[in-house]
Amino acid sequence: MSKKPIYVTQPELPPLEEFMPYLQKIWDSRILTNSGPFHRMLEVALCEHLGVKHLSLFSNATTALVTALQSLRITGEVITTPYSFVATAHSLMWNGIKPVFVDVDPVTLNMDPAKIEAAITPQTTAIMPIHCYGTPCDVDAIQRIADDYNLKVIYDAAHAFGVQREEEGEMRSILNHGDLSVLSFHATKVFNTFEGGAIICPDAKTKQRLDHLKNFGFVNETTVVATGINGKMSEFNAALGLVQLKHVDNHIAARGAVEARYRELLRGVPGVRLLDRPAGVTPNHSYLPILLGPDYAIGRDGLYQRLREHDVMARRYFYPLISDFPMYRGLPSSDPAGLPVARAAADQVLCVPIYPALQDEDVVRIAEVIRSGAVAAPVVREDVPLLLAA
């Protein structure tokens, strides 16, 4: 049994000797950044691996989200979800855009397309959903609304590396939907470059604009075409990405095996539910959210605490809701009355550790702690909505 704390995730790293030749090249060439050879190679390799046409690397997903909005000249109001990491809404605020929060769907915890139309005003210019935990949004319904109202769609796809969905008889990347999709390669993600991110776009012209925007707006030595930012990925991060890419499929498979064990061990535990995996989707097992309903004896926070006593650092992704943070809670759309499902999710979800190196004995131990919390006589609180009733 592991003695060290177990965190919600542990970044995967390749064997150091695989990375050393890349470092040697960087040391020899002295090309450290500004769209160097590894940067260019990783863009090509990722397009091929993910099955997307164009991709621009960034230093992280937050800068990429800010830049994605800039590139489409989004202004006014953008419809988004409160059930996400705070960077989603922050990217709007950095552009002077007002976030308009709509509730999420109780099955996927993604933005509920049925709630979008009522939130559209003459100021609305775009929709920014996230593929939460890598579960694909209802991209078809969202696109129909976007087309009807002439809105752009920017997916926060930070969790969706490698996720595919069946379309016309074949598996295709979820990242091809909407106008732009933004990936995160942060240390805590399925594919990491320490820090990093990317924007996926459908055409070369958009990629060129993104490339200018992430390099201060420079087109050449003397021409600046936009108020760009410094969002470039360095050669160190890009080289690491090239090595990580060789292993990522194995890592995702290993995560899948961990998830399967949790599902097996947690089957039938009263008050514990796992999100269903939608049919026709290749998942990436980036997170393992479990829902502790009002019928779970010690409650979500009781379990969070009990796991900590066992040195297991599960995380409440996403609690609090973005709409509860001080800079957002004054917005009309932050009114809890309009966000009952998101609120119930924020109160009931616990993301338990999942990563390739997680030992089976630790999964068993974590599942035992979860099971132990269900044993006390359940107190059913009728004021708390039951998500995903079994």
- Residue 320 within binding range of ligand T4K, rule CB under 6 A: no
- Of 56, 62, 108, 206, which one interacts with ligand T4K (CB under 6 A)? 62
**Which CB, 199 or 292, lies closer to ligand T4K?**
199
Nearer to ligand T4K, 200 or 269 (CB): 200
Using the rule CB under 6 A, give the single segment among 56-64, 67-75, 212-220, 361-369 that binds ligand T4K: 56-64
Shortest reach from residue 1's CB to ligand T4K, in Å: 19
For residue 315, the cross-strand partners are 351
What's the closest the beta carbon of residue 5 comes to ligand T4K, in angstroms? 8
Token pair 């909005």 is at which residue? 69
Q: What is the DSSP letter of 72?
A: T
Rounded to the nearest 5°, which phi and psi values hold at 329?
Answer: -70, -15
Q: Using CB under 6 A, pick the residue from 297, 313, 331, 369 that binds ligand T4K.
A: 313
Q: Is the dihedral of CA 68, 70, 73, 77 positive or negative?
A: positive
Contact 331, 315 (CB under 8 A): no
Nearer to ligand T4K, 159 or 271 (CB): 159
Helix (H) / strand (E) element for 307: namely: helix 299-309
Contact status: 188 vs ligand T4K (CB under 6 A): yes
Nearer to ligand T4K, 228 or 294 (CB): 228
Q: Which residues of 177-191 are buried (b: 16+ CB within 10 A; e: fewer)?
A: bbbbbbbbbbebbbb
Interface with ligand T4K by CB under 6 A: which range of 3-11, 92-100, 143-151, 271-279? 3-11
Residue 186 makes contact with ligand T4K by CB under 6 A: yes
Helix (H) or strand (E) holding 2: none
H or E element that contains 31: none
Q: Which is nearer to ligand T4K, 75 or 188 (CB)?
A: 188
Of 198, 193, 155, 163, the closest CA to residue 57 belongs to: 198
In what order do the strands lie in the sheet containing 349-352?
272-274, 288-292, 349-352
How far is Cα 176 from Cα 179, in angstroms, rounded to an integer?
Answer: 8
Site string for ligand T4K, 192-211 (x = CB under 6 A): -----x--------------
**Near ligand T4K in 219-278, by CB under 6 A:** none
Spatial separation of the C-alpha atoms in residues 112 and 178, rounded to whole Å: 16
Q: How far apart are the first and last CA of the chain?
A: 32
Q: What is the contact mask toward ligand T4K in residues 9 to 28, using x (rule: CB under 6 A)? A: xxx-----------------
Question: Whose Cβ is closer to ligand T4K: residue 62's or residue 282's?
Answer: 62
> Taking CB under 6 A as the rule, which mask of x and - marks residues 117-156 in contact with ligand T4K?
-------------x-------------------------x
Of 83, 85, 101, 133, the residue at the interface with ligand T4K (CB under 6 A) is: 85
In one-letter notation, the amino acid at residue 25 is K
Total of residues contacting ligand T4K (CB under 6 A): 24
Q: Are 178 and 147 in contact (CB under 8 A)?
A: no
Stretch that binds ligand T4K, among 80-88, 92-100, 259-267, 327-335 (CB under 6 A): 80-88
197-to-57, 60, 72, 144, 193 alpha-carbon distances in Å: 6, 4, 18, 28, 8
Q: Which is nearer to ligand T4K, 183 or 341 (CB)?
A: 183
- Tokens matching residue 185: 């390669």
Q: Which stretch binds ligand T4K (CB under 6 A): 1-9, 26-34, 35-43, 278-286?
A: 1-9
Which residues are CB-neighbours of 25 under 8 A, at least 6 positions away?
A: 38, 239
- Least distance (Å) from ligand T4K to the CB of residue 220? 29
Of 84 and 173, the one with the shorter C-beta distance to ligand T4K is 84
User: Which CB atom, from 60 or from 282, has the smaller least distance to ligand T4K?
Assistant: 60
How many residues are there in the chain?
A: 390
Between 109 and 374, whose beta carbon lies closer to ligand T4K? 109
The residues pairing with 353 across neighbouring beta strands, listed in sequence order, are none
Q: Give yes or no for a contact between 154 and 69, defined as CB atoms under 8 angstroms apart.
A: yes
Q: Provide the binding-site residues for ligand T4K, judged by CB under 6 A.
A: 7-11, 60-62, 84-85, 87-88, 130, 156, 158-159, 184, 186-188, 197, 313, 315, 317
